[in-house]
Amino acid sequence: MPHLLVTGGAGFIGSEIVRQALDAGWSVRVLDSLRADVHETAPALDERAEFVLGDVRDEETVARSLEGIDAVCHQAGKVGLGVDFYDAPDYVSSNELGTAVLLAAMTRAGIDRFVVASSMVVYGEGSYSNEAGDKVRPPARAVIDLEAGRFEPLDPATGTPLIPELIAEDAPLDPRNVYASTKLGQEHLASSWARSAGGTAIALRYHNVYGPGMPQNTPYAGVASLFRSALARGEAPRVFEDGAQRRDFVHVSDVAAANLAALDATESVESSSFATYNVGSGVVHTIGDMAAAIARASNGSDPVVTGEFRLGDVRHITASSDKMARELGWRATVDFDAGMAEFATAPLRSAAS
């Protein structure tokens, strides 16, 4: 029986990976710090898994957690856009330092299979073309435009709105906030480790993950959870900008299955290799679509489009997951309408204090 360590395995995505890995025949150990900004109370853990309480930045705890392990699935970290730049040290420490400590310990332990949670945020804005069909990489949107309600990225040459497209893994990387910078930093560390230690590393660039067990009512949660939390309070979901931001919403069970496919691949592909894959449904929906779908399914108030914005948010980013389907045989299976109908009434995690 192969032995798997899942860091952050008590979390939203990590716990679903743990469940699916156990069902697939892995022996699973979880390392999780149960940090207070994620967990108000200790979550229910799968009794089939071994649990180690500790921080991925602690060398002694990590070394102990890696004993007898064949592969590591690294989900621990600080997520979301954050509140302000005061969050930067915690993001860098939690995500980049934590990954460095883990990879160094894996090298000492002789473990050579690694899957890490990355994110669509490493791309910055999504993929665009102009009216002539040429690829164009827009600059960050100007505050003056956002304040005036001009949300669409413009062609720098002509000033006309650009046409959004699905983004592939070979697109230029342009992280535009601290969280994004740390996710790209994790990818660079994984790539460097693979070359240096002769390991195999795969980074999965999650798009907008949703599903049962999301943390609720926290500034670090995904937008789907924020809408659910509002509806549970009897309030209308508040949709920023004009609600037309394009996203790819992918169910947590599909994301966990992608991790299992990546773990399988680390056993069969060449050593000293690093690869990235988008993990998305491949189907485009807007944030307004998602808010309306959740409100309908929960018989809640219709969404309110506020025109507000957050600096660092991108306008459109939607995934092409064709590379993962082609190379690893994975595709998302949960339909958007069915997934949102389930999510509208599914239990969420208690609000973090």
Choice among 269-273, 292-296, 341-345 with the minimum mean pLDDT: 269-273
The helix (H) or strand (E) run that includes residue 281 is none
More confident residue, 313 or 247: 247
Domain boundaries, the chain: 3-126+167-345
Q: For 140-179, write each residue's pLDDT tens digit.
A: 888 999 999 999 999 999 989 999 999 999 999 999 889 9
Q: What is the percent of the chain with per-residue pLDDT over 90, rounded to a whole number? A: 79
- Kindly write down the DSSP assignment for every residue of 290-317, as one continuous string: HHHHHHHHTT-PPPEE-----TT--S--
Closest-CA residue to 210 (of 12, 9, 45, 8): 12
Q: For 45-90, write each residue's pLDDT tens digit.
A: 899 999 999 999 999 999 999 999 999 999 999 987 666 788 999 9
pLDDT of residue 86: 87
How would you classify the pairing of strands 163-167 and 318-319? parallel
Gap between the terminal Cα atoms of the chain: 39
192-212 core/surface letters (b: 16 or more CB in 10 A; e: else): ebbeebebbbbbbbbbbbbbb
C-alpha 49/C-alpha 56 separation (Å) is: 18
Query: Is the confidence at residue 20, as pLDDT, over 50?
Result: yes
> For 4, phi and psi rounded to 5 degrees?
-120, 135
> For 135, phi and psi rounded to 5 degrees?
-70, 135
pTM: 0.94
- Kindly write down the DSSP assignment for every residue of 209-251, as one continuous string: EE-TT-B-S-TTS-HHHHHHHHHHTT---EE-TTS--EE-EEE
C-alpha 190/C-alpha 196 separation (Å) is: 10
Q: What is the percent of the chain with per-residue pLDDT over 70, rounded to a whole number? A: 95
pLDDT of residue 84: 77
Query: Is the confidence at residue 289, as pLDDT, over 90?
Result: yes
Task: Find the mean pLDDT for residues 245-265.
Answer: 97
* CATH class of the 3-126+167-345 domain in this structure: alpha beta
Task: Find the mean pLDDT for residues 265-272.
Answer: 85
**Directed axis angle between helix 178-197 and helix 98-109, to 10°?**
10
CB 258 within 8 A of CB 334: no
More confident residue, 32 or 218: 32
Alpha helices in the chain (DSSP H): 12-23, 59-65, 88-91, 98-109, 143-147, 178-197, 223-232, 252-268, 287-297, 322-328, 336-343
